[in-house]
């Protein structure tokens, strides 16, 4: 009677022996396919989040727009997971790269940030581009605001011409949107072409530009521009009268007047959803990333021209990008028209910012 037992025991052993290799063969491959699923899911969910939140700066296929670096480069893919997670979670100080982690005031959980890291390391950018197009989120084309050759050559012929041309270029790119194309100020910033200013010692003006003026739109520029650029721009302030005397044509930040039509407002709304919603929230109600625009206080106190200037020039030193070099006049007008169209129904007081 022991034989059948033994056979059973042997059979059991054989069966176990037979199964173990199968298991030990199966287990890693199950792990592998789970891991693969995990990666695929991370890449797929991040693709949509990328389309909604990152393409306006990094481009539909990660190519980078304007001064924003590309993400589809080998250099970025080779960055350590830790470094990638850090830059996405915390952003980079003094650049437009915002902190995206909820605990840093952003909108993503830590696991979403981890997914972004996997996404950047593994993304198939052709797929991402197709998905961005499918979602209708391809960002508008970059339009550079340039100072004409003619203007530069008339400056170059003046004494210290090299500094002046450098100063004018820096001014046109960074300051004109607020201080005005001809230096005589706008609704949101004082004139740069000012006798009072020229009466101030140079070091004081440089210090002002370096440090900004707290609590105003005048940001601290010392980490955004080089000291040479700031120096050249301040020189330009002292020489403004000389420039006018040469008959130099100043860069124009053109503000054509387009009457607000339903089409313009609709175009503005569509553009808002692509370029602004990720920070300013659905219908401009605000988010932890940026203040509400859909509120009586802001809309009443800010004339159209000022809204236009803020959108074109950005708010330096904050996450608010300058859109003037990537949106054309029509686009900017459409955004103003869309924001203005919300005035009749806008909440009277600032709605609480989500997450605070
Ligand atoms: C408003 C523009 C803007 C948006 C939106 C934006 N970024 Fe950036 N990003 C930048 C800039 C500018 C830099 C470069 C900062 C610097 O100079 O170090 C950058 C840098 C990075 C880097 C580091 C690249 C490198 O070469 O070091 C990563 C990664 C990155 N961004 C990911 C993202 C992700 C993911 C999103 C969306 C969740 C996003 N960014 C949204 C502007 C933006
Ligand atoms: C987003 C708008 C904005 C931009 C861009 C901007 N400024 Fe200003 N700037 C202001 C405002 C607003 C003030 C007034 C601050 C205050 O109330 O004291 C100011 C003040 C100044 C002053 C002092 C003027 C005075 O009469 O006291 C100087 C100088 C100046 N800015 C230079 C620059 C330079 C140079 C740049 C470009 C590198 C620049 N600003 C870019 C908004 C801006
Ligand atoms: C990366 C985030 C981000 C994006 C994208 C963004 N903004 Fe902003 N925006 C901000 C922040 C942050 C502020 C507040 C700046 C400050 O502290 O003064 C701001 C301020 C503004 C203001 C001034 C509000 C006020 O109360 O003075 C306007 C207008 C504005 N943004 C319009 C837009 C429009 C239109 C777009 C899309 C074309 C846009 N923003 C895209 C972050 C963003």
Considering the chain, what is the average pLDDT of its residues? 80
Instruction: Say how many residues make up the chain.
Output: 356
Atom of ligand 3 nearest to the CA of 315: 15
pLDDT score at 257: 55
How far is the centre of ligand 3, averaged over its atoms, from the C-alpha of 74 (Å)? 32
CB-based pocket (< 6 A), ligand 3? 98, 275-276, 278-280, 289-291, 293, 298, 307, 310-311, 315, 318-321, 323, 335
Cα Rg of the chain (Å, integer):
28
* CA torsion through residues 263, 323, 216, 294, sign: positive
Structural domains in the chain?
24-134 (1.10.760.10), 149-245 (1.10.760.10), 262-345 (1.10.760.10)
Q: Which distant-in-sequence residues (6+ apart) come within 8 Å of 173 by Cβ?
A: 145, 325
What is the rounded CA–CA span in Å between residue 97 and residue 65? 13
**Where do runs of H (alpha helix) occur along the chain?**
2-53, 55-58, 74-77, 81-90, 110-122, 125-134, 149-156, 161-174, 176-179, 195-198, 202-211, 227-238, 240-245, 262-275, 277-280, 296-301, 304-313, 329-341
Return the best residue to mutate from 46, 68, 75, 278 for the ligand 1 pocket (most ligand atoms within 8 A of CB): 68
Q: pLDDT, tens digit, for every residue of 72-126? A: 999 999 999 999 999 999 988 877 777 889 888 788 999 999 999 999 998 889 9
> Which range has the worst mean pLDDT, 10-24, 122-136, 155-169?
10-24
pLDDT score at 217: 66
Which residue carries 């450098």 as its tokens?
Answer: 166
How far is the centre of ligand 1, averaged over its atoms, from the C-alpha of 204 (Å)? 34
DSSP labels, 72-94: SSHHHHTS-HHHHHHHHHH--TT
Q: Whose CA is nearest to atom 21 of ligand 1?
A: 97
Q: Classify residue 287 as exposed, middle or buried by CB count within 10 Å of its CB (0-12, 13-18, 19+).
A: buried
> How many alpha carbons lie under 13 Å from residue 168 in its C-beta half-sphere?
27
Picking from 159, 158, 188, the residue whose alpha carbon sits closest to that of residue 176 is 188
Helix (H, G, I), strand (E, B) or coil at 142: coil
Is residue 146 over pLDDT 70? no
Q: pLDDT, tens digit, for every residue of 151-185? A: 788 888 888 889 988 998 898 877 876 677 778 77
pLDDT score at 29: 63
Instruction: Name the DSSP letter for residue 302.
Output: S
Is residue 38 over pLDDT 60? yes
pLDDT score at 74: 92
**Whole-model pTM?**
0.52
Is residue 226 over pLDDT 80? yes
Q: pLDDT, tens digit, for every residue of 277-323? A: 989 999 999 888 899 999 888 888 787 877 888 888 788 778 888 88
CB-based pocket (< 6 A), ligand 1? 53-54, 56-58, 68-69, 71, 76, 84, 87-88, 92, 95-97, 100, 116, 120, 321
Q: pLDDT, tens digit, for every residue of 240-285? A: 888 777 776 665 544 445 677 888 999 999 999 989 998 999 999 9
- In the chain, % of residues over pLDDT 90: 30
Task: Phi first, then psi: give them for residue 38, nearest 5 degrees.
Answer: -60, -45
């Amino acid at each position: 009677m022991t034989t059948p037992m033994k056979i059973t025991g042997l059979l059991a052993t054989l069966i176990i022996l037979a199964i173990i290799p199968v298991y030990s063969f199966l287990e890693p491959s199950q792990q592998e396919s789970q891991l693969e699923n995990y990666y695929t899911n991370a890449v797929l969910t991040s693709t949509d989040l990328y389309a909604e939140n990152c393409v306006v700066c990094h481009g539909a296929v990660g190519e980078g727009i304007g001064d924003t670096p590309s993400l589809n480069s080998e250099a970025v893919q080779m960055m350590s997971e830790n470094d990638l997670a850090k830059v996405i979670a915390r952003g980079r100080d003094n650049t437009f790269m915002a902190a995206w982690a909820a605990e840093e005031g952003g909108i993503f959980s830590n696991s979403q940030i981890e997914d972004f890291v996997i996404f950047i390391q593994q993304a198939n950018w052709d797929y991402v581009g197709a998905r961005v197009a499918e979602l209708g989120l391809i960002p508008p084309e970059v339009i550079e605001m340039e100072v004409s050759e003619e203007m530069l050559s008339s400056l170059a012929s003046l004494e210290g011409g090299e500094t002046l041309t450098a100063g004018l270029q820096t001014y046109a790119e960074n300051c004109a949107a607020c201080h005005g194309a001809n230096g005589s100020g706008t609704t949101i910033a004082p004139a740069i072409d000012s006798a009072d200013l020229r009466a101030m010692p140079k070091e004081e003006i440089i210090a002002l530009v370096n440090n900004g003026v707290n609590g105003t739109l005048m940001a601290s520029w010392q980490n955004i521009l080089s000291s040479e650029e700031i120096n050249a721009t301040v020189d330009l302030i002292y020489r403004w009268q000389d420039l006018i005397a040469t008959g130099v044509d100043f860069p124009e930040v053109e503000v054509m007047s387009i009457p607000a039509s339903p089409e313009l407002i609709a175009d503005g709304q569509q553009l808002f959803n692509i370029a602004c919603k990720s920070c300013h929230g659905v219908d401009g109600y605000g988010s932890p990333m940026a203040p509400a625009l859909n509120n009586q206080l802001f809309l009443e106190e800010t004339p159209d021209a000022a809204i236009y200037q803020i959108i074109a020039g950005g708010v330096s030193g904050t996450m608010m990008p300058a859109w003037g070099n990537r949106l054309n006049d029509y686009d900017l007008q459409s955004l103003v028209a869309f924001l203005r169209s919300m005035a009749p129904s806008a909440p009277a007081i600032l709605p609480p910012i989500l997450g605070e």
